[in-house]
């Protein structure tokens, strides 16, 4: 058995109770095999893979907070500081009732490779809590965020670990967390990204993940002789990534006909009206089904997976992990899908990914396709360190350059080490090589 396979088999036994982490590790180690085989002796002697798969540190803590009725509630929180070989830990904070150590380890592992792909000096980390911001008052969210930061502040800093948003964590939550960090430490520093524009945030960060997804998807399609313009698009989710992906792909001349949330999806054959979606989701914090009472000709269907049965040429899953299983992938293929760009992290199961690749569908994995968010976060860190702000146009130009560069690296790595057009392998390999070299150079740490 090869070194890569042995390490994976050990992980499957040791972490059998962590399915999302094992899923990510299986995909990563399987696709890295050709590179690891070429360097097996050197890597094994250095214990490189055993170190690479294991987070440097996981901090876990309880978060007590007082709800509006005066009762003390307690949630469980984590920060996974995965790998700091190429820069300070960097990655978002997820607030969702499903959060557990397995999910944050899978997200942290993906983040290590994603951050490497950006070409910027950021290591990988992820954090989160099983707190559900839905249905909570602003004051409850504030008290939660303050309590969360009262523990987390000891472990983070502008040069050590820089959290940001993810599911359930947006500008409101980052603001409350930043205020508490500043109060506890007295430091006005770029310790979080996705900050508001009045206190150190970067223009373009809110849009960056969705816009970046479209820049990379367009680069992938054009390289393969296809265009975005004129295509029908499905976007799952209706949160931060989904909204700005839908906006940019529409600007590129495509038509978004469906969006969703965790309850169901809307279908609008005339093209989704994003002003209405933004009003419902960003301003009112409402549900996507309210769209149909405001826009005529649109329909709403309960349940999330039905969205993938709508015929389309481009699918942009932007909600959550494993939202596309093999059956949904087959439905998309039957409906004529040409390209899938993953805005979410690991939205396709391994079986779904294989189905797309087998059918010749262009497939951009999340760690490449959604890297624009964290790349723009790194640009926010740079602006904070320089104590200046770039214009929206400057940030967008840099973002476009970064996304095209990521696609090129992924495309070249796929051709050199795996199969041309296998962007899953290409992304894992290109991301890994930089981290591996930095780890080897720094010795057994």
Question: CA end-to-end span of the chain, whole Å?
Answer: 26
Beta carbon of residue 162, minimum distance to ligand NDP (angstroms, whole number):
13
Q: How far is residue 172's CA from residue 49's CA, in Å, rounded to a whole number?
A: 38
Residue among 81, 209, 313, 349 that touches ligand NDP (CB under 6 A):
209
User: Which contiguous run of DSSP H or E holds residue 301?
Assistant: strand 299-302
Choose the catalytic residue: 33, 90, 105, 126: 126
Q: How far is residue 164's CA from residue 182's CA, in Å, rounded to a whole number?
A: 15
193 binds ligand 2IT (CB under 6 A): yes
166 binds ligand 2IT (CB under 6 A): yes
Residue among 162, 167, 298, 436 that touches ligand NDP (CB under 6 A):
167
Q: Is 278 a catalytic residue?
A: no
Q: What is the footprint of ligand 2IT within residues 364-403 (CB under 6 A)?
A: 373-374, 377
- What are the backbone dihedrals phi and psi of residue 264, each rounded to the nearest 5 degrees, phi first? 180, -170
27 binds ligand 2IT (CB under 6 A): no
Contacted by 193, from ligand 2IT, ligand NDP, none: CB < 5 to 8 Å by type: ligand 2IT
Q: How far is residue 108's CA from residue 92's CA, in Å, rounded to a whole number?
A: 9
Q: Quick one: DSSP state of residue 87?
A: S
Q: Which residue minimizes CB distance to ligand NDP? A: 239
Q: What is the footprint of ligand 2IT within residues 112-131 (CB under 6 A)?
A: 114
Contacted by 167, from ligand 2IT, ligand NDP, none: CB < 5 to 8 Å by type: ligand NDP
Contacted by 261, from ligand 2IT, ligand NDP, none: CB < 5 to 8 Å by type: ligand NDP
Beta carbon of residue 173, minimum distance to ligand NDP (angstroms, whole number):
10
Q: Which residue minimizes CB distance to ligand 2IT? A: 92
319 binds ligand NDP (CB under 6 A): yes
Residue among 168, 175, 200, 201 that touches ligand NDP (CB under 6 A):
168
Beta carbon of residue 126, minimum distance to ligand 2IT (angstroms, whole number):
7
Q: How far is residue 95's CA from residue 147's CA, in Å, rounded to a whole number?
A: 14
103 binds ligand NDP (CB under 6 A): no
HSE (CB half, 13 Å, CA atoms) of 273?
14
HSE (CB half, 13 Å, CA atoms) of 85?
26
124 binds ligand NDP (CB under 6 A): no
Give the orientation angle of helix 350-358 with respect to helix 19-38, to 10 degrees: 50
Q: How far is residue 139's CA from residue 273's CA, in Å, rounded to a whole number?
A: 32
Contacted by 353, from ligand NDP, ligand 2IT, none: CB < 5 to 8 Å by type: none
Residue in the structure block whose two tokens are 């170190």: 51
Give, in degrees to the nearest 5, the angle at Cα 317 between 203 and 82: 70
CB burial readout 373-387, b (16+ within 10 A) else e? bbbbbbbbbbbbeee
The SS3 of residue 271 is coil
Q: What is the footprint of ligand 2IT within residues 56-115 (CB under 6 A)?
A: 90-92, 111, 114
- Contact criterion met (CB below 8 Å) for 349 and 22: no
What is the radius of gyration, based on Cα positions, of the chain? 21
Residue among 249, 304, 331, 418 that touches ligand NDP (CB under 6 A):
304
The count of residues interacting with ligand 2IT (CB under 6 A) is 12
Q: How far is residue 229's CA from residue 221's CA, in Å, rounded to a whole number?
A: 11
Q: How far is residue 232's CA from residue 253's CA, in Å, rounded to a whole number?
A: 10
- Site track 261-300 with ligand NDP (rule: CB under 6 A), x = hit: xxx-------------------------------------
Q: What is the footprint of ligand NDP within residues 219-248 (CB under 6 A)?
A: 237-242
Which residues of this protein are in contact with ligand NDP, per CB under 6 A?
Answer: 96, 165-168, 170, 209, 237-242, 261-263, 304, 318-320, 343-345, 370, 373
Catalytic residue list? 126
- Contact residues for ligand 2IT, defined by CB under 6 A: 90-92, 111, 114, 164, 166, 193, 345, 373-374, 377
């Amino acid at each position: 058995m090869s070194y890569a396979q042995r390490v994976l088999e050990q992980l499957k036994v040791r972490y059998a109770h962590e399915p999302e982490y094992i899923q990510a590790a299986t995909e990563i180690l399987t696709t890295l095999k050709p590179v690891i085989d070429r360097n097996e002796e050197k890597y094994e002697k250095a214990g490189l893979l055993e170190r690479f798969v294991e987070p440097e540190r996981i901090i876990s803590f309880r978060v007590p907070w007082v709800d509006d009725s005066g009762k003390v509630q307690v949630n469980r929180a984590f920060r996974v500081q995965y790998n700091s070989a190429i820069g300070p830990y960097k990655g978002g904070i997820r607030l969702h009732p499903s959060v557990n150590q397995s999910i944050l380890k899978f997200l942290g592992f993906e983040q290590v490779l994603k951050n490497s792909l950006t070409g910027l000096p950021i290591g990988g980390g992820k954090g989160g809590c099983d707190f559900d911001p839905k249905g909570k008052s602003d004051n409850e969210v504030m008290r939660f965020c303050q309590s969360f930061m009262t523990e987390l502040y000891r472990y983070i800093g502008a040069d050590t670990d820089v959290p940001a948003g993810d599911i359930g964590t947006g500008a409101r939550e980052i603001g409350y967390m930043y205020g508490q960090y500043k109060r506890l430490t007295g430091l006005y520093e770029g310790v979080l990204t996705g900050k508001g524009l009045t206190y150190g945030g970067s223009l373009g960060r809110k849009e960056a993940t969705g816009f970046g997804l479209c820049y990379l998807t367009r680069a992938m399609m054009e390289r393969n002789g296809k265009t975005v313009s004129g295509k029908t698009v499905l976007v799952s989710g209706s949160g931060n990534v989904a909204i700005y992906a839908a906006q940019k792909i529409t600007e590129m001349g495509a038509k978004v006909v469906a969006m969703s949330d965790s309850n169901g999806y809307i279908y609008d054959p005339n093209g989704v009206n994003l002003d209405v979606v933004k009003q419902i989701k960003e301003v009112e914090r409402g549900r996507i089904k309210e769209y149909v009472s405001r826009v005529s000709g649109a329909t709403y269907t309960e349940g999330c997976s039905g969205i993938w049965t709508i015929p389309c040429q481009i699918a942009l899953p932007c909600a959550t992990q494993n939202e596309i299983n093999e059956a949904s992938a087959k439905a998309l293929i039957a409906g004529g899908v040409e390209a899938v760009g993953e805005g979410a992290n690991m939205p396709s199961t391994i079986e779904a990914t294989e189905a797309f690749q087998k059918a010749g569908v262009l497939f951009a994995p999340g760690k490449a396709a959604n890297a624009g968010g964290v790349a723009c976060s790194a640009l926010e860190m740079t602006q904070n360190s320089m104590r200046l702000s770039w214009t929206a146009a400057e940030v967008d130009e840099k973002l476009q350059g970064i996304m095209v560069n990521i696609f090129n690296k992924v495309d070249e790595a796929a051709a050199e080490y795996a199969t041309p057009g296998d962007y899953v392998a290409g992304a894992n390999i290109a991301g890994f090589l930089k981290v591996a070299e930095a780890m080897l150079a720094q010795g057994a740490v």
